[in-house]
Amino acid sequence: MMRAAAATMGMIATAAMLLIASTAAARPLVASITPPPCVAPVQASIFVDAGSYSPAHRTGLVPGSQQPWTWNTGGVTESVTSTTIPLFTSGAKSSGSYQFTFFAAGGFQYHSSTNANQKGSVSVSLCNVPATSHIGSTVPVQYASAHHTGWVSDVQIKRPGSTTWAWLGYGLTGQFTSFTPAKIGTYYVRARLRHTTNNAASGFSPAKAVKVS
């Protein structure tokens, strides 16, 4: 009887193991989404002329893009100085060059410290945002290439049927966030960079559209 009981217990244990293995095999694997780094295109120089920037508005950057400026002022002293947030400044000079690596998405206004009427802007887009997705899928959004102490990113989303933006993430200190669409339609996402000391913020980046089916 003891042998029969042991055999029965063994059969039960084997069946249980087979059931667990079968269940594990049937369960779909959930892979963590880690998008590749942003591909930062090489940017042509913006010329600092006497009284203007050429071009005055630069687009096409992503987090990690390096933007150079070259002085062409004919000896006139000008600068490249961020306007709404204390992010970058070349200092006033009459020749040479300057460059800055934009590490987060946003719209960045700048001016010359010696000429209040001389203004320019640089637009940095989100990257690794897919153009299409499906209900229930995880949609990645990369808003930065690196985190810098004293700075955070704020990400907004506009869902299908809505006319207003909502916060997807506020005060983010990483590089990525994501959302899971629950309905069919087009979603829009955008981001800005904000200083933690005084809450001064850049403008928002161009909106990225994700069509969900």
Terminal Cα distance for the chain, rounded = 62
* Helix, strand, coil share of the chain (percent; to 5): 10, 45, 45
Question: pTM, whole model, 2 decimals?
Answer: 0.83
pLDDT at residue 38, rounded to an integer: 87
- Sequence-separated (6 or more) residues with CB below 8 Å from residue 85: 108, 193, 194, 195, 200, 201, 202
Q: What is the pLDDT of residues 110-120, one digit of tens each?
A: 999 999 999 99
| pLDDT confidence bin for 178, thresholds 50/70/90 | very high
The first and second tokens of residue 173, run together, are: 């200190």
d(CA 167, CA 191): 10
